[in-house]
Amino acid sequence: MLVVPLLEKYKKYLIWSYRTLGFFQTAGKFSFLFLLMILFNLYELAYYVPEVEKLSKFQTYLDTYWFNLGLMAAGALVLTLLFGLIHRLLDRSNKFNLITLLETGFPELKTRLATAYDNSQNINIVTKKLLEEVNIQLSGIKIRKIVPKKQIFRSFVIFLLAAGAVTFCIHEGFSFDVYPSQLIDELLDNMSDLNARAAYEEKEEVVPDSRYRVEAVIIKNGDKVEMKINPSLGLGFTSQVDADTEKNFNESKSGLEDEFRQSQTYSENLPEEYESLIKQYFEALSS
């Protein structure tokens, strides 16, 4: 039988080539993920599972450092397999197809090879001649031409670099000063602070004064009290003008003819250039 034996021979050769490529790609991904876990101390994420912490305390075969390395290696392996599965499910166009590879790598076989393979069991004068011609062409091709040598070499180099970095980090105990548990705790603390602040602001509502843009309502002993300004006495905010305040106001008013009495609250030695500004301020308050 023509064509088919050659195709089977080429198929075995190419399958081993693509398996080698897949191995180095997978190994490179695993080494890279393992390196990231070591650098950023991602083993701490595993301790959020209570069983892992119990296992770390009760196992006696490994010390803490090597146990954490085992956790990170297991995590990198799971992620590598998960990414590989997702890639295979989403990208089915990369499925190995010998006929497509040969026709792409050798344009002279395009359409002729597929036709000959489809009619390899249907022998007649026309198909026999086609099979003989295609078989001669297949015998003369260099199958190594379509082997993904560059991809294999690139994947091998990436794997070596990542594996070397992992070996260095493990031997030297090197990692960044980044700990996921601290970041998570800080994030939770910030969220709780924001929630507490939001609850506090909702509980104590403040009504702004439209004229002076100051808070004109406060909460005192659980009751809302509206504040009023008495600028003449310099007493600041008061909830009301009580009897003592009114008495002091009347006394100060009647005593203006005898002597000038300044408000004790606003009696300060200020520069002369502020005099006009202060005067305008109190005129605005009293208007």
Same domain for 243 and 153? Answer: no
Q: List, in sequence order, every beta strand (DSSP E) within the chain.
A: 217-220, 223-226, 228-229, 237-238
pLDDT band at 239 (very low <50, low <70, confident <90, very high): very low
Tell whether 124 is covered by a domain.
Answer: yes
Tell whether 208 is covered by a domain.
Answer: no
Tell whether 193 is covered by a domain.
Answer: no
Same domain for 149 and 40? Answer: yes
Q: What token pair was written down for 228? A: 């009023």
pLDDT at 249: 55
* Higher pLDDT, residue 82 or 218: 82
Mean pLDDT computed over 267-276: 63
pLDDT band at 161 (very low <50, low <70, confident <90, very high): very high
- What is the percentage of the chain residues whose pLDDT exceeds 70? 71
Tell whether 57 is covered by a domain.
Answer: yes
pLDDT at 110: 83
92: Cβ–Cβ under 8 A, 6 or more apart, which residues? none
pLDDT at 252: 56
Q: What token pair was written down for 203? A: 């509980």
* Higher pLDDT, residue 80 or 254: 80
Instruction: Quote the pTM value.
Output: 0.63
Same domain for 175 and 50? Answer: yes
Which stretch of 6-20, 53-67, 91-105 has the lowest confidence by average pLDDT? Answer: 91-105
Distances (CA, A) of 242 to 35, 238, 246: 75, 9, 6
Quick count: other Cβ atoms within 10 Å of Cβ 79?
16
pLDDT in tens, 223-237: 665 655 545 444 444
Task: Provide the terminal-to-terminal Cα distance of the chain, rounded to the nearest Å.
Answer: 112
| d(C-alpha 3, C-alpha 132), whole Å | 8
C-beta separation of 148 from 16 below 8 A: no
pLDDT at 212: 46
90: Cβ–Cβ under 8 A, 6 or more apart, which residues? none
Tell whether 211 is covered by a domain.
Answer: no
Q: What token pair was written down for 231? A: 């600028």
Examine the pLDDT at 222 and tell me if it is beyond 80. Answer: no
Same domain for 236 and 161? Answer: no
- In the chain, how many domains are there? 2
Amino acid at 122: N
pLDDT band at 73 (very low <50, low <70, confident <90, very high): very high
pLDDT at 70: 95
| d(C-alpha 67, C-alpha 59), whole Å | 9
Mean pLDDT computed over 133-147: 88
Q: What token pair was written down for 4? A: 């088919």
Same domain for 178 and 229? Answer: no
Quick count: other Cβ atoms within 10 Å of Cβ 33?
21
User: Residue 246 is part of which domain span?
Assistant: 217-286
Examine the pLDDT at 23 and tell me if it is beyond 80. Answer: yes
